[in-house]
Structure 1
Amino acid sequence: MTAHHALRFGANYVPSSGWLYSWLDFSADDARRDLEDLASLGLDHIRVFPVWPWIQPNRALIRRRAVDDLLYLVDLAAEFELDVAVDLLQGHLSSFDFLPSWVLTWHQRSLFADRAVRDGITAYVDTLARALADRPNVFALTLGNEVNNLWPANPATPAQSSAWAAELLDVARAAAPRLLGLYSLYDAAWYEPAHPFHPVDAVTLGDLTTVHSWVFNGVSAIDRPLGPATTSHADYLVELAAAGSPDPHRPVWLQEVGAPQPDVPAADAPAFVHRMLDQVLVNPALWGVTWWCSHDLDRSLADFPEREYELGLFTTDHRRKPVADALARAIRTVRTPAADRPALVCDTDPVARPDLRAELAPGSAFHTEWVRLRQAGPLAIVPAARADDPAYLAARSIRTVLSRA
């Protein structure tokens, strides 16, 4: 088995003043105050979201001022010893789609399928990657935040979405070979049979796998805020990703996880954080955890879903919330990855048979059995095709294999 690295802990950076609209009028003083909040928790990184159409408002125009603002934020993070992962195509954020006008109105064309649009995005990715390549505290570039949320407004076949991501990851690698190149999808890629973005891309494209665990996907309705299905969902999704990868050593980054209301009421949020992290942090595949999000959303801003307003570790006036204290305690707690775990055999292969993904979704028979067994301790998932492979099992710290009852 390979040696395990120290887990990374971070926050998805949502500015306390003006949400991500603050990119339109960037304030270094405001950003510095926000980053001071995050550093006080013992975090080691942030994930940031420059908004694509504000940087590239025309297919042939990339605004240098906007790129410089991003670099300024990166340098501010370095002052607080925070590393930075940069998402490129925003894309989809907090229920809104942000797309440049040159893919909308009478220009309407799919950003995944149209060659001219893809050429414009290629220039954008190349420009930002080159600008960020030599910043020592930048460690990763992600193509975008849950880009599969941009479908079906941007139609794509599975082959088109796969080729799109592979092409842009190659562009990012060529421009910034030192940085991790990543591809992020929300969990429809794992659970919805007709979704045109497939698990195979999540576990093979990019330098590691990312997952986003949100219990408002139906899992919280199974057993309420602090039930085992709810608190183990992050670990379940990490396990699905680890089991789906052809490489047993491929890490999985829990790139988004949060305590959304009303699924997790504020009074239950600290206990949710404790129970969720207590389970996922011992997963041998886990690379790190990045909380969504850093700061609450100002209620003077209209039209966001209710759950988006209070997801922060800090309030908009920089008060530290109980969830932040729970996360800080978890960071200070030393944990050893679980060794010699049992594994539940999964007869459904979502990578080979994406049409069967519903058989793994929350509430399915397989998920229900995994949750039941997981209450006794760490539990892996192993594909049926690899259940008799000793080298594979050893690489994933699996001791015994359990057949589903």
Structure 2
Amino acid sequence: MTPQHPGPDRLRFGANYVPSSGWLYSWLDFDADTARRDFEDLAGLGLDHVRVFPIWPWIQPNRSLIRRQGIQDLLELIDVAAEFELGVAVDLLQGHLSSFDFLPSWVLTWHQRSVFTDELVRSGLAAYVDQVCRAVATRPNVFAVTLGNEVNNLWPANPTSAGACSDWAAELLATAKAAAPELLSLYSLYDAAWYEPDHPFHPVDAVELGDLTTVHSWVFNGVSALDRPLGRALGPATTSHADYLVELAAAGSADPGRPVWLQEVGAPQPDIPAAEAAGFARLMIEQVAPNPALWGVTWWCSHDIDRRLVDFPDREYDLGLFTVDHRRKPLADQLASSITELGKSRPVDRARPAIVCEVDLRTEPERRAEVAPGSAFHTAWVRLRQAGPLAIVPAHRAGDRAYLAARGIATVLPHPTTPEPAAT
């Protein structure tokens, strides 16, 4: 299988893999047959890839010990995915998953070493990244490695600064690329990097580090609350948020052709009631698919979490496309339908209007609140987006014709000085 690298002609669709049995604790007693049954579920939807999550401290329990069996289990999972013609993206540093942090004891207890700033931790991580990348690069269905899942969730328990976390990411991405030059090397941040003024992880790193930009769209970050007073679970702020994040990412990149991977998007309850999940998936995909920057969509997640496992936030249990007993949800049926439809023809819009964003997220991260959900700019974008695809262009490039053409922008609208409410 040849991995598909960024390109405009075909969207990739996949799922973030959460095993149906035992959640990710299943790595402790890995069973290939369980994974085989799970991947059969996913392949039946027409998905082409999975994103998988080895747990860092279980592979590297000591700074000088990287367990070969842990890497071998990962390779066996990748081989099972290949049986179903599924590509694999491997997240390296877990790190943070579903509200839990997984860190090895050699950065905790009395050591108290920051993952981002301590030189010993960084050297240990570099060895881990190097060995895992070299191993997974031997499998032809692996197409990408990501440093970790939303690594900025590890702050502030692991103190850092903007400069330190930027250097950390650049250093480890270089290690990954040297070990596996044919794979996409990526950086994953949750959306505090885009919206919170004091957050030490900045948008410029998201759009410059790695081979493409990844975004994670979760409607509990505030957008669902904008629609809720109107009694609309599937209001315009909610259904368009993925497209909004893709646009912010595209506008923030110096390269007008840099692709954006919607690496996580899901339908969390109660923000999106279970009965509305399929409708959300349909509307969200309809709105984001025409975006010429979009590389692919990876749903969170493949399977529900067994409720016999305790202490997860309630919304985490029912995010799967399938139940723990492999029952296919209406949400999964809708995703399969959307994949089939877009496989016939992807409706890329290369003649969109755009609105100007006065905030330069590359150089003015302290102004991030001005583009956050509910801000005047976001409200105006949501209102105008209801008429059709709508780009975002930074003010300093609004007159750059070559840049606008490269982004598929036909016209630049006047700055929206008096935004109306987000919903009509």
Give the shorter-chain TM-score range.
over 0.9
Give the deviation of 1:5 after TM superposition.
2.9
Aligned counterpart in structure 1 of residue 288 of structure 2, from 271, 280, 291: 280
Aligned to 1:256: 264
1:253-301, CA deviations, whole angstroms, 9 ceiling, x for partnerless residues?
Answer: 0000000000000011111111111000110000000000000000000
Counterpart residue identity of residue 256, structure 1? E
Aligned to 2:337: 329
SS in 1 for 2:92: strand
Residue 400 in structure 1 maps to residue 411 in structure 2: yes
* Structure 1 CA distance for aligned equivalents of residues 211 and 138 of structure 2: 19
Aligned counterpart in structure 1 of residue 190 of structure 2, from 160, 175, 186: 186
Kept in 1, the 8 Å contact 2:49–2:89? The answer is yes
- Structure 1 stretch displaced more, 90-99 or 331-340: 331-340
Aligned counterpart in structure 1 of residue 249 of structure 2, from 241, 245, 268: 241
SS in 2 for 1:106: coil
- Structure 1 stretch displaced more, 249-258 or 267-276: 267-276
SS in 2 for 1:287: strand
Residue 205 in structure 1 maps to residue 205 in structure 2: no
* Structure 1 CA distance for aligned equivalents of residues 141 and 7 of structure 2: 24
SS in 1 for 2:384: helix
Residue 383 in structure 1 maps to residue 356 in structure 2: no
Give the deviation of 1:3 after TM superposition.
6.7
Aligned to 1:166: 170
* Structure 2 CA distance for aligned equivalents of residues 58 and 276 of structure 1: 43
1:141-183, CA deviations, whole angstroms, 9 ceiling, x for partnerless residues?
Answer: 0000000000000000100000000000000000000000000
* Structure 2 CA distance for aligned equivalents of residues 4 and 325 of structure 1: 25
* Structure 2 CA distance for aligned equivalents of residues 129 and 94 of structure 1: 24
* Structure 2 CA distance for aligned equivalents of residues 149 and 105 of structure 1: 19
1:2-48, CA deviations, whole angstroms, 9 ceiling, x for partnerless residues?
Answer: 97231000000000000000000000110000000000000000000
Normalising by structure 2, report the TM-score: 0.95
Give the deviation of 1:336 after TM superposition.
1.9
* Structure 1 CA distance for aligned equivalents of residues 319 and 49 of structure 2: 18
Give the deviation of 1:211 after TM superposition.
0.1
Aligned counterpart in structure 1 of residue 303 of structure 2, from 282, 295, 311: 295
- Structure 1 stretch displaced more, 329-338 or 121-130: 329-338
Counterpart residue identity of residue 216, structure 2? H
Aligned to 1:13: 17
Counterpart residue identity of residue 326, structure 2? H
Aligned to 1:123: 127
Aligned counterpart in structure 2 of residue 228 of structure 1, from 227, 233, 236: 236
Trace 1:35-184 onto structure 2 (pairs within 5 A).
Answer: 35-184=39-188
Give the deviation of 1:381 after TM superposition.
0.1
Trace 1:310-329 onto structure 2 (pairs within 5 A).
Answer: 310-329=318-337
SS in 2 for 1:34: helix
Aligned to 1:215: 219
1:48-105, CA deviations, whole angstroms, 9 ceiling, x for partnerless residues?
Answer: 0000000000000001001000000000000000000000000000000000000001
Give the deviation of 1:133 after TM superposition.
1.1
Q: Give structure 2 stretches of 5+ with no counterpart.
A: 1-5, 418-424
* Structure 2 CA distance for aligned equivalents of residues 49 and 300 of structure 1: 21
- Give the length in aligned residue pairs: 404
Give the deviation of 1:335 after TM superposition.
2.2
Normalising by structure 1, report the TM-score: 0.99
Kept in 1, the 8 Å contact 2:10–2:346? The answer is no
* Structure 1 CA distance for aligned equivalents of residues 129 and 9 of structure 2: 29
Give the deviation of 1:349 after TM superposition.
1.0
Residue 265 in structure 1 maps to residue 257 in structure 2: no
Change (3 A) 1:322 1:365: same
Aligned counterpart in structure 2 of residue 358 of structure 1, from 363, 369, 375: 369
Q: Give structure 1 stretches of 5+ with no counterpart.
A: none
Aligned counterpart in structure 1 of residue 352 of structure 2, from 341, 351, 373: 341
* Structure 2 CA distance for aligned equivalents of residues 218 and 92 of structure 1: 21
* Structure 2 CA distance for aligned equivalents of residues 280 and 71 of structure 1: 33
Counterpart residue identity of residue 91, structure 2? D
Residue 306 in structure 1 maps to residue 314 in structure 2: yes
* Structure 2 CA distance for aligned equivalents of residues 200 and 350 of structure 1: 7
SS in 1 for 2:103: coil
After TM superposition, the runs of 4+ consecutive aligned structure 1 residues lying more than 2 A away are none
* Structure 1 CA distance for aligned equivalents of residues 360 and 9 of structure 2: 28
Counterpart residue identity of residue 86, structure 2? L
* Structure 2 CA distance for aligned equivalents of residues 95 and 47 of structure 1: 18
SS in 2 for 1:105: coil
1:200-241, CA deviations, whole angstroms, 9 ceiling, x for partnerless residues?
Answer: 000000000000000000110000320000000000000000
* Structure 2 CA distance for aligned equivalents of residues 349 and 207 of structure 1: 22
Change (3 A) 1:226 1:152: same
* Structure 1 CA distance for aligned equivalents of residues 351 and 404 of structure 2: 9
Percentage identity across paired residues of the two chains = 75
* Structure 1 CA distance for aligned equivalents of residues 7 and 294 of structure 2: 13
Counterpart residue identity of residue 352, structure 2? R
